């Protein structure tokens, strides 16, 4: 039995998401770790090969909208060169032994040859971009890696 990924939520990032805090949909709160009577905890997720620690909290008064915020969230945004309009997608991954972890993908939605897809990479300075398209009904996935040409002796 292989690890099984389940989509928790996905959203296009706004200016507030980039510069202050990422608003997490209240409806998915039961899919995230419980606060156990508190109002904040350190949430962990895997992005590529790095484990990120993010402050996950709710307000103590008024509307208890969950958010990822603070210095740890901003570090993630800056390190990954996130911009308004990028897509943030969180998955819960169930492992064979019954344990689970969270995984994040961030990227920009594009139309590639008439297919709505995601591109992952850190913009024009990245050595490689990966374009993926998942077709959920048929369980198909396409992944295309684009990088600098590897031509010996060519003038660059």
Q: What is the domain range of residue 21?
A: 4-106
Q: Does residue 116 lie within any of the structural domains?
A: no
- E-only strand ranges, 13-139: 21-23, 40-47, 50-57, 67-69, 86-94, 100-112, 115-120, 128-135
Q: Does residue 30 lie within any of the structural domains?
A: yes
Q: Which DSSP string do the residues of 86-103 spell out, in sequence order?
A: EEEEEEEEE-TTS-EEEE
Helix (H, G, I), strand (E, B) or coil at 70: helix
Count structural domains, the chain.
1
Q: Please give the average pLDDT of every successive group of 10 residues along the chain, which has 156 residues.
A: 83 96 93 91 94 93 89 96 94 93 87 59 43 46 49 53
Q: Does residue 56 lie within any of the structural domains?
A: yes
Q: How far apart are CA 112 and CA 119, in angstroms?
A: 10
- Would the pTM of this model clear 0.85, i.e. be above it? no
Q: In 3D, which of 48, 50, 53 has the Cα closest to residue 105?
A: 48
Q: Which CATH number does the domain housing residue 58 bear?
A: 2.40.330.10
């Amino acid at each position: 039995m292989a690890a099984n990924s389940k989509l928790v939520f996905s959203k296009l990032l706004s200016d507030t998401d980039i510069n202050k805090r990422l608003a997490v949909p209240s409806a998915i709160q039961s899919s995230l770790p419980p606060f156990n009577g508190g109002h904040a905890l350190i949430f962990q997720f895997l992005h590529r090969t790095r484990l990120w620690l993010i402050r996950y909290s709710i307000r103590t008064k008024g509307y208890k909208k969950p958010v990822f915020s603070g210095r740890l969230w901003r570090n993630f945004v800056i390190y990954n060169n996130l911009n308004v309009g990028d897509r943030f997608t969180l998955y819960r991954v169930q492992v064979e032994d019954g344990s689970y972890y969270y995984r994040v993908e961030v990227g920009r939605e594009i139309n590639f040859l008439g297919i709505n897809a995601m591109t992952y990479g850190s913009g024009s300075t990245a050595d490689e971009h990966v374009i993926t398209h998942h077709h959920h009904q048929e369980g198909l996935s396409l992944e295309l890696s684009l990088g600098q040409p590897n031509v010996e002796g060519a003038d660059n």
